[in-house]
Each structure stands twice: as structure tokens, then as C-alpha cells.
Amino acid sequence: MAVAFALDQTTKQAAVVLLASGPLEVGFSRFGLIANPGGFLGFPVPLSQIVGATAAGLVFAGAGLRGAATAEVIGYGLFAGGAVGNLTDRIFHRAAFPPHAVVDWIAIPPGPTFNLADLFLVVGVLLLLLRRRTGRQIVSWSGS
């Protein structure tokens, strides 16, 4: 969770500084600043519901860790890191951004603009769903 959160916040701050003068196009990707006052991928959702859903998701993630396999731990960690990353944007105001807005900066046209927290949320949920569906270990850890 901490690694996902740190990567998200670091890249958002770098984007705010590096993309302040305008968007950058690299290959098929576009990097530009978007203030997202809505929910996931810009869907309009009241702030109270975003905070409530984030809190519920974090409780769910914490409860799921007991006896979890490696893929599940990684999935919950990515999910929690992404959720806390976007919630941090909503709580702590960034200069030049409206209050309670998330910094989105990555676009792969014709899709929406997003950030690493959004990516971590999606990958975390996919890992959890894949693990539940297959019942097999997807990622193994051979740490000592």
C-alpha cells in the first residue's frame, strides 16, 4: 500500500510541476493536467459518497488480509494505495487546482484521463477477482 501511495503522490506532484506549461504527447499517450472533481475516471459523484466508499473499501481490504495469498495481499495493497492516493488529493488542496479535485494526468486516447492511483485500483481489483475466480496462486513470493 505504501509503495502504491508514494508512487501515486510523487508522480502527481511531478506532473503538476512538469505539465504546468501544457500537455506533452509521447507516442500514442498524452500527458496533461486535468482537475477531476468527480469519482473514478471522472464520473460525477458527491464527495461524501467518495469518502464513504473509500472508507468501506479500506475496511474491506484490511479484513481480507487475514490468511490471504500473495496475489490477494498485492491486490489489496494496490487497491488501498490507490484509494488513499486519490482521497489524499481530495483532502489536501494543491495550488492551481480546485478544492477536492484529484490530479489526473495520463491519457491514452480515446480513453479517459487518469492517474496511477486509478491504475492501482483497477489492477488491484483485477488481481483479487482473478484469484477468487481461479482459486490458484497467481503471484508467488519466495521471501525468507
Concerning whether 8 is annotated as a catalytic residue, the answer is no
Three-class HEC string of the chain: CHHHHHHHHHHHHHHHHHCCCCCEEECCEEEEEEEECCCHHHCCCCHHHHHHHHHHHHHHHHHHCCCCCHHHHHHHHHHHHHHHHHHHHHHCCCCCCCCCCEEEEEECCCCCEECHHHHHHHHHHHHHHHHHHHCCCCCCCCCC
Q: Catalytic site residue 118?
A: yes
Residue from 71, 102, 104, 114 carrying the catalytic annotation: 104
Active-site annotation holder among 8, 72, 89, 118: 118
Catalytic residue ranges: 104, 118
